[in-house]
């Protein structure tokens, strides 16, 4: 395993270790700045699974997809965050987030290899829902830039952990583990969608 892969896995483990497995969409308790923004995407199982699935799918694809798919997600997530913070309505946000877990998990489980632009478009659609949830729940008392930087960094770390896990699995010739992970994520998406 390369140094970069080890670092990616380590960052993912740290992010997962600090993430309470609670729903991230009801703003409870005091929220301030960068740390709250960082905790928001890491604070809900739906977000964690979707972000890791994006990374797994990107890493599974290899090549430029390893970075282009996560970058597309983050870029559109920022747009969704701005929309949410500005109060722009987006229907079915919770359902869109739950559906993202189901679909992204299924893509990993089936090792789907769509053309890169189509893959980026799909993750971008889901990113809009995730970003909107982050922005809509940003307290008015915090700096939007600090809060946004926090949730962008947390998202990137979760993506990187997924990419790292996919690379490690491929290097160990254990693609079956990757597919099983996708299946588990998709199954979780079904449960989340039924509860949404």
| pLDDT tens sequence across 176-191 | 889 999 999 999 999 9
Q: Which residue has the tokens 């997924």?
A: 162
- Rounded to 10°, the helix 45-61/33-42 angle is 70
Q: How far apart are CA 179 and CA 190, in angstroms?
A: 17
- For residue range 127-152, list pLDDT tens digits in order: 999 999 988 887 666 677 888 888 89
Instruction: Output the pLDDT for position 4.
Output: 45
Q: What residue ranges do the domains of the chain occupy?
A: 42-195
CA distances from residue 107 to 2, 60, 114, 124, 186 in whole angstroms, order as listed: 26, 10, 10, 15, 9
Task: Give the global pTM.
Answer: 0.81
């Amino acid at each position: 395993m390369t140094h970069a892969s080890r670092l990616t896995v380590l960052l993912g483990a740290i992010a997962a270790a600090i993430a309470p497995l609670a729903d991230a969409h009801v703003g409870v308790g005091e929220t301030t700045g960068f740390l709250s923004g960082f905790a928001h995407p890491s604070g809900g199982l739906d977000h964690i699974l979707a972000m890791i699935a994006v990374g797994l799918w990107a890493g599974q694809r290899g090549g430029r997809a390893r970075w282009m798919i996560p970058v597309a997600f983050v870029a559109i997530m920022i747009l969704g965050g701005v929309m949410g913070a500005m109060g722009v309505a987006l229907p079915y946000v919770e359902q869109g987030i739950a559906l993202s877990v189901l679909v992204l998990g299924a893509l990993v489980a089936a090792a789907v290899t769509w053309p890169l632009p189509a893959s980026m478009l799909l993750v971008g659609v889901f990113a809009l829902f995730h970003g909107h949830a982050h922005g809509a729940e940003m307290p008015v008392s915090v700096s939007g830039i600090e809060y946004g930087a926090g949730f962008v960094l947390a998202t990137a770390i979760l993506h990187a952990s997924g990419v790292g896990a996919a690379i490690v699995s491929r290097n160990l010739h254990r693609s079956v583990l990757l597919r099983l992970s996708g299946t588990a994520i998709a199954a979780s998406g079904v449960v989340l969608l039924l509860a949404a």
